[in-house]
Structure 1
Amino acid sequence: MKQMNNYIDSLFTNQDDLLEDVISSIKENGMPSISVSPSSGKLLTMLISISGSKNVLEIGALGGFSGICLARGFGKEGKLTSLELEEKFAQLAHSNLSKAGFGNQVSYLTGLAIDSLEKLVTDQKKFDFFFIDADKLNYENYLNYSIKLAEPGALIVADNVLAGGSVMDPETKSKRYTEFMREFNNTVANHPLLESILIPIGDGMTVSRVKK
């Protein structure tokens, strides 16, 4: 899996100084190095660009790597709302988004994502693109909220759905969330409101379209 990703990254992504600086800032701040892979980031940019999405909800900001990739997809016309548990993570993400030229197009809601999602539902907010990359144990909850907040035809993308390959390979050491990812993938694959596919890029991404 790592060999496959290295091949894809080397062939389909170029040196990106801005994103390299984001990775460095994450390390310098003692944050976990768990940003999406370069190819996964490029896929996010392409999906937003292709779909024409302009109102994006990100669940899990970390240092802003994926946020920049999302914002690059909508350019100067879109808006990103990002949910992040840690205030210091959100501040770093906003700083990095600002350096990328998107500071005025992103807003952060800090605290438990479930609480923020509930408020967005109460406020009757709607989004046309969702990116889920936060605590894995709540993925199904995040999916359900995303569907509630979705415009017809919206896209919902979730990261880390292969759990390092452990969801499919019994010889791969299981992660603490492996079984949750298996259940999540099964839910996504069979959800009556979604049309979905799993793309084995990075640590695996499900891409779902909310049926109109």
Structure 2
Amino acid sequence: MAKSDPNWSDVDDYIVEHLIGDDPVLDACLAANAREGLPAIDVSSAQGRMLELLARGVRAKYILEIGTLGGYSAISLARALPDDGHLVSLELEPQYAALARTNIERAGLSDKVEIIVGEAISSLAALEESDRPRFDFIFVDADKENYAAYLDHAIRLSRPGAMLVFDNVVREGEVIDPDSSDPKVPGTRALYAALQKHPKVDATAIQTVGSKKWDGFLLGIVRDD
């Protein structure tokens, strides 16, 4: 694994200071997550704002998130929604979902966010069979082993022109190593392979460095032709 550079976090702090500022709601969310022993794998403050701006940019009204954890990214995304917007977030662990609901309620966003507990694959299949509106924006940040399967569901659940965002797709450079010891690399590589020359999605990936070390996001747009 590549070593982290302390300057990366310093630059993140600079970005937050100049472009985002203090956010007591998200700070409280992180503090609650830490008290309850959740893994500290939330997106960073700058990344959370990026997700919010991307969702605002596509004028998302219906958002799907795969992987709630303690609700940090759900809060960021829900802030992008119009008054009649709705976010569905899928979470495997009941205790994570319960804490996320508390954090989201504290943020004043309970009326916009629905958390569904259970295996994501089963929840996604149920969403496909429902009469819910198709989603405008989908953020995937759950078990990387199932990334390619999540892509298939995401496409079926999206409207044409929807944005898809997958987190943790560089893995400190390990993604280019087919023999990597990181157990999450094969699923990440399967996502790239599935999107190579995909007929329904135009995609790219961007490397990032910062307080979350060296990683990246994959972004795609569901084609409308």
TM-score (norm 1): 0.91
* Stretch of structure 1 that moved more, 178-187 or 114-123: 178-187
For 2:99, what is the secondary structure of its paired residue? helix
Whether 1:33 and 2:40 are equivalent positions in the alignment is: yes
Q: Measure the CA separation in 2 of the matches of 1:162 and 1:190.
A: 19
Whether 1:167 and 2:175 are equivalent positions in the alignment is: yes
Q: Measure the CA separation in 1 of the matches of 2:92 and 2:113.
A: 16
Task: Deviation per CA, 1:47-84: give whole Å up to 9, x if none.
Answer: 01111001000000000000011011225332110111
Structure 1 residues without counterparts, runs of 5 or longer:
none
* Match in the other structure for 2:220: 208
Determine if contact 1:97/1:103 at 8 Å carries over to the other structure.
yes
Determine if contact 1:124/1:149 at 8 Å carries over to the other structure.
no
Determine if contact 2:145/2:186 at 8 Å carries over to the other structure.
no
Identity between Structure 1 and Structure 2 (%) = 37
What displacement does 1:5 show? 4.2
Q: Measure the CA separation in 1 of the matches of 2:216 and 2:115.
A: 26
Determine if contact 1:130/1:156 at 8 Å carries over to the other structure.
yes
Comparing both chains, which one has the higher relative contact order based on Cα–Cα distances under 8 Å and sequence gaps of 6 or more?
2
Q: Structure 1 residues 19, 112: CA separation in 2 closer, same or farther (over 3 Å shift)? A: same
Determine if contact 2:161/2:223 at 8 Å carries over to the other structure.
yes
TM-score (norm 2): 0.86
Count of paired positions: 211
* Match in the other structure for 2:143: 135
* Match in the other structure for 2:185: 178
For 2:60, what is the secondary structure of its paired residue? coil
Q: Of 44, 50, 58, which aligns to 2:51?
A: 44
Q: Of 26, 29, 44, which aligns to 1:22?
A: 29
* Match in the other structure for 1:144: 152
Determine if contact 1:8/1:39 at 8 Å carries over to the other structure.
no
* Match in the other structure for 1:11: 14
Task: Deviation per CA, 1:151-193: give whole Å up to 9, x if none.
Answer: 01001100011113211479xx742111221221232343221
Q: Measure the CA separation in 2 of the matches of 1:167 and 1:64.
A: 27
Task: Deviation per CA, 1:78-112: give whole Å up to 9, x if none.
Answer: 21101111111111111111111111111111110
* Match in the other structure for 2:101: 94
Structure 2 residues without counterparts, runs of 5 or longer:
none
Q: Measure the CA separation in 1 of the matches of 2:10 and 2:218.
A: 21
**Cα RMSD over matched residues?**
2.1
